[in-house]
Structure 1
Amino acid sequence: MKKNLIYLLPLLIMLGGCKKYLDVNKNIDAPAYVDAHLYLANITQQYQGIYFDIRAIGPLTQMMGTTVDAYTNFANHFYPVGSDAGGEIWRVVYWTQGMNLENLINQSLAAEDWTLAGIGYAMKAFSWDQLTKVHGELPMNDAFVPELLSHNYDYQKDVYAQVREWAYTAIELLERADNHNYGSRISDNDFIYSGDKDKWIKFAYGVIVRNLSSLTNKANFSEAYAQELITAAGKSFQSADDDATVKVNGGSQSAPYDAYNNFWGTARPNLTYNYFQHEYAVQVFTGTVPAYDESTGDKIRLDTNPYHPFKLAERQIITDTLLNIAGHFDPRVSVKLSTTSNPTYLNLGNADNVKSYNYYGGNFTSKVGSIGTAPSFYGRNIASTFTGTVHDGTGRWIYRDDAPYILTTYSEIQFCLAETYFKIGQTSEAFEAFKRAVAADMQTTSRYIFPGKEGSATGGDKITKELFNTLSTQYVDGPFVNGLTDFTLSHIMMQKWVALYPWGAPEAWVDMRKYHYDIDYNGDYPSNGNGWIQALIDQKWDSNPSKVYKGLYLNPAQVQGRKGAYDVRNEGSPSYRLRPRYNSEYMWNLKSLETLKPIPGTADNYQTSIPWFAYPGEMPQ
């Protein structure tokens, strides 16, 4: 369409005359009517906004660290008023998709284009589900009402129910007989499933699964939500081939617009060396979660190996350091994490070589971690470059310029199902779903491997697909997955965290919040004096069998390297939500924010307001 416009506009000027073309009463950039299918391509591409905000949410989940001033706030769990950082998903739902998506749906319904309307409702459900999980309360019923100058907020419980209603509407529309001949109008503009109705139906069921999965810690989950989730999961994705991703053209430096490239690609300076993998991620992926002396909170130093200078926790959930025993090495580390080992990409198909790589992570706001310095996400200790003898080329894995945006996967759906079965006491069914989930993440991970050129320091992945697949089969058949004998909730949730790394940080943050960051408290949920005080968070020790995320400690915890404090305005609490976008709500909708309960949206500690999904019961008034 872009090329057509380039050639047609001069022709229209010549044929119709300048007088007609320059009619000031017509806005050529915002025509009165646009065919519904023409909205579709732009709406799907707006999902890059999720990757935009993961730079804020990643540090909250200890997937990422950052040195960028606007985002270190999130790493420190304090988000002050006055910035749009962390507000891109808000912008997507209300503006860049916004009325475009509403028009697509309404025009398609009027034309009885059921397939196109169903796709629109499926995306609307997905986007609003993502939005409320990040921000909590939202203007929903007032969102697109013409001529309103202020917009009342709806509480999350109501938004959740509406999300599922939209998803079921999508399914109903997509299952209707539709004899309209769309030609290539949908397939050419649908950058997710190319108009495949069956996959869109599975996607809509997946939205329902994700929505309900955040409620597993609700007191009434078993009777109110579990069966609906199980039913939806059975009708959702059936294999990794159903994964929902947004296609990206790429083109690197030769692309006509840099936005043709993936937001995390090397051609766009959005990760550079200002963001890096957190040391918690390295500990989990490499099986090096340290043991702590519970009387002091200090790590137990051994000094026998500079790469492993501390005593390791006896129980590692994902993998361990027995690299020479089949099934004890998780090959996802060599793809999902970055390393400066093997800079010239030698022997990428040699298992011993790949297993010898060293990985380092940073802290919350520093590249320097407890055992070394984290590299960039491209595997270098400098910002990315595009030319020269040593450079990053087009990136690696999902940090490639042409890598798709991952929205949700079969693996994620199976982890949601595993957690649900576990919560309702069906452990054998939970274990089967768990095994399917890990195996599927191996497939999803492998799909985006593009090995670097042998002997050339010009970017790419540091393992071949063939070796990865061999090692992944060994791992899945080994003691951490199929051969697991002490299956726990930690195995489900930590493997899910690994599967979501880092594209699914928003959902990982949902899980961490619903389990309250493994804070040690009494009663229904933590509060000041019951789980934290001003400068200290009391977190469960890894030895506590109820602790879900082994090795996870927040910054003001009681352990070495985690004895900081949050901003005093947090009153000791970690963050439970992001504030609404500043230039939307704090500039134009302040009075509505003031009415929110239990903490007003204008309060200094609004970001600590626990969302409805994380309360075992209803929100306190």
Structure 2
Amino acid sequence: MKKKLLYVLPLLFLFGSCEKYLDVNKNIDAPAQVEGYLYLANITQQYQGLYWDIRAIGPLTQMMGTSSSTYVNFANQYYVEGSDAGGEIWRIVYWNQGMNLENLINQSLEAEDWTLAGIGYALKAFSWDQLTKVHGEVPLKDAFVPGLLSHRYDYQPDVYAQVREWAYKAVELLERPDDHNYGSKISANDFIYGGDKDKWIKFAYAVIVRNLASLTNKANFKDAYAQELITAAGKAFQSAADDATVKIAGGSQTAPYDDYNNYWGTARPNLSYTYFQHEWAVQVLTGTVPEYDEATGDKIRLDQNPYYPFKLAAKQIITDTLLKEVGHFDPRAVLKLGTTSNKTFEHLNNADSVKNYRYYGGSFSGTVGPIGTAPSYFGRNIASAFSGTEHDGSGRWIYRDDAPYILTTYSEIQFCLAETYWKLGQKTQAFDAFKKGVAADMETTARYIFPGKEGSATGGDKITRELFTSLANQYVDGPYVKNLADFSLSHIMMQKWVALYPWGAPEAWVDMRKYHYDISYTGDYPTHGNGWVQALVEQKWDSDPSKVYKGLYLGPAQVQGRKLSYNVRNEGAPSYRLRPRYNSEYMWNLKSLETLKPIAGTADHYQTSIPWFAYPGEMPQ
């Protein structure tokens, strides 16, 4: 039976407060205190929890569908109170990193270990930025105050400002002269940058960029935030070589602990076959977004080709189906999506063969989609297996046992910059950042290619790195990037969505929420009766020039294949936040939740409460 990895440090501090039962500081066999650098490895490894919560957030962004009984409600924008599902980011910040990170920072400051303290502040800024974007209001000032039995919530304006303050503090400390000889203390325990101060400084600035990029729809964005974002982006990542990832040991079935493997790999069957690519993801990445009859909401059936049975929208944003035209094919589909084509990995370096793979997406909660059945992320219509005559081996691409966890990338930062320039009316600068963002995502995507063995159905990627790079160069120089004739905000945001697929689902969800899922409404933000009613979300048609995400329709939308309904407790609204973690807040901090405005945290529809970053002005009281 596999051993499970135990996180010793959090337990150390839990029991360390019990003076008469166990005082580790008076134990002659234990050190007086844990040295700061010893916290670092455990703190960085906790970011696997981001992938845990993508089980909930992926379906909210239509990157994933799921039939998991625990997470299927997220696909329908609602989930039952009483579960810790979708609470892992909360757990990272308050528990898994929690006091470990606080102690790392405080002890390092006291010891004048400026480099280590700066890394700590950068990690803290990143984690809290993720936390508030997913959950909205969170306990900040009361978070780690000893002796409190309840914790007051702080609102996003304060949390956002604090995140940036921590990031700037990280830069200040990392730039401070530090003559301490750390030896391998930092480099051996830093699984992100191996102690490279310059890259940590860039990372801190990247956190600032991500934080401010969620505010682009604020009425005061241009005056209050845009220049700060542009300045930070200039000091953040300079190429895809700066991408922030958490390295892991891997080892598949030979690893001493399951957690040595990537959460999405085959050795930990978490993606199994209860999670699968959504039909919209397939449509976007293959250029098959359909046209809808605006009078009926139905797709227009052609009955000419079983793989293309519907009339396709004339305006595709990412790619199209003209596979023989140079630069029209986006090779990222081969890696980001799963396909049952070519199960024995033949001709992986042949462009004609690779371009003809078939991709199918599922619905919100089932693998059967509009034209076929979605496979697993490993490319089979069964649960993942790592042994047998046919199997998935150690996985493929970032769904691989030894793949690192991706935190943020140069490509993402460039798309944040492109959107900012667009909002400022600086289209030339926006287009330049856009092109850099697409090219960088190609480089990041190629980094994790591990081709399968020719003639053997035993897992791996269905393209060589050589062919991918060739096709990527053609695409970047083609009509959807370099020679784009009708550059728009949709191109920026949908290319960013593709670049984030699926590791960056939390940030993609930020973007979708700040653009209010392309809901059709009048006023500052959608409300009941002005964007949705109990059984229908009214969304912009793809023909609307102001629609950002072409082809995106929520579950209860007015088009074929949707026309569902949300749980009655949503009162017709889509989800705008995840509830706080049940096991802490709803069991121990209920009175503080009750005070939240404009919707109490105890209300049946709290998950529909729009966060501050998505309001053009301040939150209504």
Give TM-score scaled by structure 1 length.
0.96
- 2:135 and 2:316 mapped to 1: Cα distance? 33
1:373-522 correspondence to structure 2 within 5 Å: 373-522=373-522
For 1:179, the equivalent position in structure 2 comes to: 179
Partner of 1:8: none
Letter of the 1:386 counterpart:
F
2:335 matched to 1:335?
yes
Identity %: 80
Distance verdict in 2 for CA 1:30–1:259, change over 3 Å: farther
Q: Which residue of 2 aligns with 1:267?
A: 267
Structure 2 distance, partners of 1:30, 1:73, is 46
Higher mean displacement: 469-478 or 384-393: 384-393
User: How much has 1:32 moved relative to structure 2?
Assistant: 5.2
CA distance in 2, matches of 1:311, 1:167: 49
Counterpart for residue 617 of structure 1: 617
Q: Secondary structure at the match of 1:406?
A: strand
Once residues 316 and 385 of structure 1 are traced to their aligned partners in structure 2, the CA distance between those partners, rounded to angstroms, is: 36
Which residue number corresponds to residue 573 of structure 1?
Answer: 573
| Residue type of the alignment partner of 1:202 | K
Question: What corresponds to 2:11 in structure 1?
Answer: none
Distance 1:293 1:42, change over 3 A: same
- CA drift of 1:271 comes to 0.8
Q: Is the 8 A contact 1:524 1:615 kept in 2?
A: yes
| Structure 1 contact 340–375 (Cα < 8 Å) conserved | yes
Unpaired runs of at least 5, structure 2: 1-20
- Structure 1 equivalent of residue 252 of structure 2: 252
> Which range is displaced more, 378-387 or 591-600?
378-387
Question: Which residues in structure 2 correspond to 1:347-366 (within 5 Å)?
Answer: 347-366=347-366
Structure 1 residues 524, 25: closer, same or farther in 2, change over 3 A? closer
Q: Distance in 1 between matches of 2:385 and 2:359?
A: 21
1:78 and 2:85 aligned? no
Change (3 A) 1:25 1:163: closer
Q: Which residue of the partner structure matches residue 6 of structure 1?
A: none
* Matched AA of 1:324: K
**Matches of residues 128-143 of structure 1 in structure 2 within 5 Å?**
128-143=128-143
Secondary structure of the 2:284 match is helix
Partner of 1:20: none
SS in 1 for 2:71: helix
1:601, distance to aligned residue in structure 2 (A): 0.1
1:536–1:572 Cα contact (<8 Å) kept? yes
Moved more, 78-87 or 465-474: 78-87
Residue 546 of structure 1: SS of its match in structure 2? coil
Alignment-derived partner of residue 12 in structure 1? none
1:80 shift after superposition: 2.0
1:239 aligns with 2:239: yes
In the TM superposition, what are the counterparts of 1:163-174 in structure 2 within 5 Å? 163-174=163-174
Q: Give 1:33 shift.
A: 1.4
Deviations 1:433-478 (A, max 9, x none): 0000000000000000000001010000000000000000000000
CA distance in 1, matches of 2:409, 2:341: 30
Q: Say if 1:73 and 1:79, in contact at 8 Å, map to a contact too.
A: yes
Tell me the alpha carbon deviations over residues 28-86 of structure 1, each in whole angstroms, 9 at most, x when there is no partner.
Answer: 89965111000000000000000000010000000000001110110000122100000
Matched residues in 1 for 2:609 and 2:385: separation? Answer: 42
Task: Deviation per CA, 1:564-603: give whole Å up to 9, x if none.
Answer: 0001110100000000000010000000000000000000
Q: Distance in 1 between matches of 2:24 and 2:288?
A: 64
Q: Secondary structure at the match of 1:211?
A: helix
Contact 1:91 1:581 survives alignment (8 Å): yes
Equivalent AA in structure 1 for residue 61 of structure 2: T
Q: Distance in 1 between matches of 2:321 and 2:378?
A: 24
Q: What's the CA shift for 1:26?
A: 4.2
Q: Deviations over 1:338-363 (max 9, x none)?
A: 10000000000000000010000000
1:384 Cα offset (Å) = 1.0
Amino acid at match of 1:231: T
Q: How far apart are the structure 1 equivalents of 2:557 and 2:23? A: 62
Q: Which moved more, 1:27-36 or 1:63-72?
A: 27-36
Match of 1:592 in 2: 592
Cα distance per residue 1:373-431 (max 9 Å; x no partner): 00001111111111111011000000000000000000000000000000000000000
- Distance of 2:203 and 2:370 partners within structure 1: 41
Q: Distance in 2 between matches of 1:385 and 1:568?
A: 39
Between 1:23-32 and 1:78-87, the stretch displaced more is 23-32
> What CA deviation, in whole Å up to 9, does each residue of 1:503-529 have, x standing for no partner?
000000000000000000001000000
* Secondary structure of the corresponding residue to residue 532 of structure 2: strand
2: distance between equivalents of 1:243 and 1:87? 26
Distance in 2 between the 1:385 and 1:538 partners?
42
Q: Could you list the per-position Cα deviations for residues 530-572 of structure 1 after superposition, in whole angstroms to 9, with x for gaps in the alignment?
A: 0000000000000000000000000000000110000111010
**2:146 alignment partner in structure 1:** 146
Q: Give 2:567's aligned amino acid.
A: D
Residue 60 of structure 2 is matched in structure 1 by 60
| Secondary structure of 1:58's aligned partner | helix
Q: Given that residues 80 and 604 in structure 1 are in contact (C-alpha distance below 8 angstroms), is that contact kept between their aligned partners in structure 2?
A: no
CA displacement 1:209-233 (0-9 Å, x = unmatched): 0000000000110000000000000
Partner residue in 2 for 1:297: 297
Q: Is the 8 A contact 1:258 1:268 kept in 2?
A: yes
| d(CA) in 1 for partners of 2:100, 2:477 | 47
- Shift of the alpha carbon at 1:330? 0.2
Q: Tell me what 2:191 maps to.
A: 191
The one-letter code sitting in structure 2 at the alignment partner of 1:353 is: S
Provide the residue aligned with 1:17 in structure 2.
none
CA distance in 2, matches of 1:145, 1:31: 24
Q: CA deviation at 1:24?
A: 6.5
Distance 2:366 2:334 in 1: 23
Partner of 1:115: 115
SS in 2 for 1:97: helix
Of the structure 1 ranges 68-77 and 26-35, higher mean CA displacement relative to structure 2 is found in 26-35
Q: Which residue of 2 aligns with 1:34?
A: 34
Q: Which runs of 4+ in 1 moved over 2 A?
A: 23-32
Contact 1:60–1:77 (CA under 8 A) maintained in structure 2: yes
Tell me, in whole angstroms, the C-alpha distance in 2 between the residues paired with 1:449 and 1:387. Answer: 21
Conserved 8 A contact 1:150-1:588: yes
The separation in 1 between residues aligned to 2:253 and 2:356, in whole angstroms, is 34
Task: Tell me the SS of whatever aligns to 1:532.
Answer: strand
Paired residue secondary structure (2:188): coil
Deviations 1:275-329 (A, max 9, x none): 0000000000000000000000000000100000000001000000000000000
Which residue number in structure 1 is paired with residue 368 of structure 2?
Answer: 368
The aligned residue for residue 528 of structure 1 is 528
Equivalent residue letter for 1:436: K
Show the counterpart of 2:91. 91
C-alpha contact 1:285 1:333 (8 A) present in aligned 2? yes
Amino acid in the other structure paired with 2:591: K
Distance 1:589 1:564, change over 3 A: same
Q: State the TM-score, normalizing by the size of structure 2.
A: 0.96
